[in-house]
A = this chain, B = another copy of it.
Amino acid sequence: MDKLREVFDEDLDALEIGAAILGTGGGGNPYIGKLRCREELKKGRRIEVIPLDELPDDALVVSLGGIGAPVVGVEKIEEGQECLRAMRALEQELNVKIDALISSEIGGANSMEPMLTAAQAGIPVVDGDGMGRAFPEMQMCTWSIYGHTSTPAAMADEKGSIIVIRKTRDEVAVEKFARANVVTMGAAGAIAMNPMKGDFVRRAAIPYTITQALELGRAVQKAHREHLDPIQTIMTQEGGRLLMTGKITDLERHLKGGFAVGQVTVEGFGDYDGQTGRIDLQNEFLIFRRDGVVEVCVPDLIVVLDADTGLPITTEVLRWGQRIAILALPSHDLLRSPEALKVIGPAAFGYPEINFNPMPAKGS
């Protein structure tokens, strides 16, 4: 298949579906970003995509996106140029010109933000991302895991605020400062991180995840058109497996330090009658337990879909009584290395007692 070179208006709906599935419930809803991208395209701007392996060694690539609590992002609408302002602030800070953008996380809203900003700035977006899914904290990017320093990082909000995190002790501290500032911004803002060189991005990025999201979304669209089972389609496309179908019977979700945290309890139906599922979440779905026993956990992807339509349900729109299907999808190998598991394994989320037991890799 040809490499992806550009994203067109007619791709955006599919991208939205694919990105929301890969968001594992988090990363914010890509819907508003999609509408914004559409607006930019209508103005004659283009979303150019550069294939990961064509990125020049010395290209300056910036990972950027929205930061905040998805619950808030739904209601506190961005002004629309937050990421662009964060990017310009970073250019000013370093006195450089940025060559390309890349998503920090393909899952959720941050699939769209770099495309939107790339269109506004007239530069390409790289086909890849720093998570291959969504995660709640910035140091959980492969950039940080594989040695990049995120500072200086520039933040912007809809009120014109610009904050530069120029230097910190470590990558976790970048996250802590960014989180403190985004809470002050009203729990939604944009952040652009210290440029990376192209050769590093080629090694550290989860590869071709715009293409992956697009194809995943297209497969779901096709299943809908042809009255096939979209859940089966997603599993086939991503090498995943169905964990449970059931009804949400309990839901705890609250804002804590800028995160949406909580638990979802599901009573199984169909083949899963009599079973109880529980998902722990922190912006994203982290852990799936069947009858109290951990079965799937981060970094593998836990995806919640509407049991009838197969469309993904993000953590902020979960509600009591929803009939859902819970899927597990395998994470990329770059997320499964020992250095990655230190940062995005279950222990990093406060579950030191859980061992990551990887599900079979995609295509294996």
Contacts and interface: CB of A to CB of B under 8 A. Distances in A.
A176 B184 contact: yes
A169 interface: yes
Interface size on A, as a range, is 20 to 34
Contacts of A93: 164
Contacts of A154: 166
A89 interface: yes
A183 interface: yes
A182 to B, nearest CB: 9
Contact of A162 (B89, B167, B179): B167
Given A166-B162, A167-B162, A181 B177 contact: yes
Contact of A184 (B159, B160, B166, B177): B177
A143 to B, nearest CB: 19
B165 A159 contact: no
Interface string A179-216: 11101100000000000000000000000000000000
A168 B177 contact: no
A3 to B, nearest CB: 38
Nearest to A173: B161
Contact of A163 (B89, B164, B183): B164
A187 to B, nearest CB: 12
Contacts of A183: 180
A160 to B, nearest CB: 6
A177 B166 CA distance: 15
Interface centre among A159, A160, A168 (most CB of B within 10 A): A168
A95 to B, nearest CB: 10
A176 B184 CA distance: 7
Given A161-B167, A164-B163, A180 B184 contact: yes
A163 B161 contact: no
Interface in A45-66: none
B159 A177 contact: no
A178 to B, nearest CB: 9
Contacts of A161: 167-169, 173, 177
Contacts of A173: 159, 161, 184
A205 to B, nearest CB: 28
Interface of A: 89, 93, 154, 159-169, 173, 176-177, 179-181, 183-184
17 contacts: A93-B164, A159-B168, A159-B169, A159-B173, A160-B168, A160-B169, A161-B167, A161-B169, A162-B166, A163-B166, A163-B177, A164-B166, A173-B184, A176-B184, A179-B184, A180-B181, A180-B183
Q: Rank and list the top 5 A-B pairs by shortest CB-CB distance, nearest first.
A: A164-B164, A162-B166, A180-B180, A162-B167, A180-B184
Given A160-B168, A180-B180, 5 more contacts: A89-B166, A159-B168, A161-B173, A177-B181, A180-B183
